[in-house]
Structure 1
Amino acid sequence: MEPLRLLLCGYSYHTQPAAYLQDREGLPHYLFRLQTEGYCQALVDGVLTTLGPGDLLLYKPGDRYELAFAPMPNELGQTAVYSGDYFLSCTGDWVGEWWKRTPKMQRTQIHLDEKLISLWRHLVLEKRKYRMGEENEELLGYLLRALCLCIERAVLETSAPHGRSFSAVRMKTFIQENAMFPFKIEAVARHVGLSVSRAVHLFKECFGFSIMEYTKQVRLAAAIERIKYSKMPLEQIAEASGFASYSFFYRVFREKYGISPLEYRRQAWELGDVKVDPAR
């Protein structure tokens, strides 16, 4: 059994023309690359293709890999070489099994999620430490596995299973990241560049519930954790979980779980579990 090995991992930034060709016979390893800034060109399914921010490249052993950096017009109409990306190469039976689990396209446009990028940065730093002689190969393995799983989720979300739109997934992510703060539907729509009416319709069409219904779900989930595992006053929990008032929080909570927040906390603390109707 071949162990999981991280061969290369880093961040590259280019401001000068350049071209790279990796082995005319094909790659000897897996290679992942995420464009985060600017533009470049890469060989995708045999065609030299322009890449922009959010373009994820996934290559398996045997695939041809070619990369080119040339002057391109930017958003200001200026022509320049401007490209930034994270990259890694790896081998091992685990990544081979991971690769086979779901279809992998050579190029996928994904949302530049800060959590995924932070994980990639962490992997870059740990690889740098490893090259300096520190014993952290086990940590590298776990971080690489975590990054692969995060990439898989990002690709699956972007591929829009069951008709889900990339814009709808981005709205859902925005809500997850901002539900603890007050926001209006206009902010969600603005985040994906849609009108309010289109954003509302698209979200409901893709997920079967409204933006505000989903926001309440996320806020209730946060409130549950705080009720069970903290001693925060219930009024403070309501506010910290994004609810405008305790009375509104109380009503929404009771509608969902069939008991009051206080009774929920009492059962959680006294019995170590909460007995509520799972259908609610």
Structure 2
Amino acid sequence: MPVRADDLSGTAAPGDPSPPPGQLIIGRFDQRPPYAVNRPDGADSWLFTWTTGGGGVVRQGAAGTLAHPGDLVVLGPGVPQHYAVGPGAAHWAFWWVHCQPRASWAAWLRPYEIGDRVYAVAPVSDGSRERVDTAFRRMLADARWTGEGAPPPSDGAPVDGEVAVAHGTAARELALCSLEEVVLLTAARAEPHRSDTDPRVRRAQDLITADPGAPHTVRSLAERVALSPSRFAHLFTEQVGHSPMRALLHARLLHAARLLEATELPVERVATASGFGSPFHFSRVFRQRYGVPPGAYRQTLRDGG
């Protein structure tokens, strides 16, 4: 439920610091009034919050939202922010993570931006909510891993105020994998289709998203949804705003970006696995989308850029 920023109280302590962007810090709080955090200059890192009980209120710039159980609220860096126990709420229980997110998450969060780099994702189903909570517990445990032996178990109940910092590269990457699962289960999987979208168009979108590297064509997709190619292409473009092949290209580029982030596959194999027949064509369109060629994109992530 969106709220006006002017409706929030100004009870926060001034100048609460935020972690630097290179760190991943995760914790779980259960706070009571007058808990509030105020950052007049914004945060240096991204902040992900997942509410499990009570309620919070979040403001960043001119945008604001209430945080109810099951809500994922994400705040981008560089914009003045304030968050607190929600109006009338007895407490606010929530997981939180400060980190630098993976580049591929931007497309999943973009539909939920309500202004000033605030992303408010609607609640997911109860079954997915349990899995999201499990992912946060695993994230907390993995952040403590030293890289030796097995990561700590994640089956214990989290303690209020418990905080972990992922110091090592392995611990940070494992924690990011769990956070990516959270984003997928909420933003990517809960993304609402327009209510007036034809179910055949939604089905085609799901087919593209599920396997972007497959040899999809307008004809093959049209056959899967029982439409003629011309009717399918017209209906898809009319309702989505771009052609089926444009949607496929976007999905393939996102898939390629994730492979570059998470694997050591050579660029040529990334291109093939993402459905591109020519590595040269892949490099050209990838650079158009992400601003750098595939190899430089991977190296930038490794360098922490």
If the TM-score is normalised by the length of the shorter chain, which range does it land in?
Answer: 0.3 to 0.5
Q: TM (normalized to structure 1)?
A: 0.41
Q: TM (normalized to structure 2)?
A: 0.38
Larger Rg: 1
